[in-house]
Amino acid sequence: MAATQQNAHARPRVPDSVILYAVGDIHGSITHLTRLVETVPFEPEDRIVFIGDYIDRGPDSRGTVEFLLSFRERFPKCIFLRGNHEEMLEDFLNGADWSMRNAYLTNGGGATLISYALNPLEKVKAADFPEGHLGFLFGTALKHGEDGFLFVHAGIRPGVALEDQSRQDLLWIREEFFAHEHALGLTVVFGHTPLRDVFQNPPYAIGIDTGAVFGGKLTCVELGDGKILNTYQV
């Protein structure tokens, strides 16, 4: 698996500087994740925003969560956002109705349960997961703002004030967001919708889900001045 770097503004790192990064949807693709971490020159003081969807569909959701827990110890300024797949798992464990439970299993949730050596056809409880795993997944944030960027999993609804954005839209919206401009005054960095390459519509939106679990790449972008400064992909 080859790693690539595209330098929009190649420059030496200033000593003691803090760099802002964002990482796209992982979906249990542990090999992509470990290769990405080997490729990107992260430092402990950096701000690294993970855009959500750590689990489901891919081959090793459990290994991905374990890796991210360890990564957080080494890079304590990480921010982990909630994706719609973390939301679906929580609903599944909280006794969602049959249709919602089935939707989770058929949208990659079965792969997550199997990675934890659990049978998707049997009753699964929160206590069946290792200590700390669900706390990590369900303790994730819905949004994060920093340096002129707004980080969310799926996007925002144009024409709605930030404080009035719905949980549903932050986790699930697609074309209604990125096919339109908005007036938030922030560049929205999002995942959720897999695209062939990084989506850029400055100064409105940057999309970083490049479909790692679907045979594409896992993307990390370095951000500053309202734009992408560097792109790393594996």
In contact, 88 and 112? CB cutoff 8 Å = no
Residue with tokens 């989770």: 104
Beta strand 79-80 with 47-50: parallel, antiparallel or unpaired? parallel
What's this model's pTM, rounded to 2 decimal places?
Answer: 0.94
pLDDT values of the chain reduced to their tens digit, one per residue, 234 residues: 667 766 544 445 555 689 999 999 999 999 999 999 999 999 999 999 999 999 999 999 999 999 999 999 999 999 999 999 999 999 999 987 888 889 999 999 999 999 999 999 999 999 999 999 999 999 999 999 999 999 999 999 999 999 999 999 999 999 999 999 999 999 999 999 999 999 999 999 999 999 999 999 999 999 999 999 999 999
Cis peptide before 203 (omega within 30 of 0): yes
Residue with tokens 């090793």: 60
Catalytic residue set: 85
Domains for the chain: give ranges and CATH numbers. 20-233 (3.60.21.10)
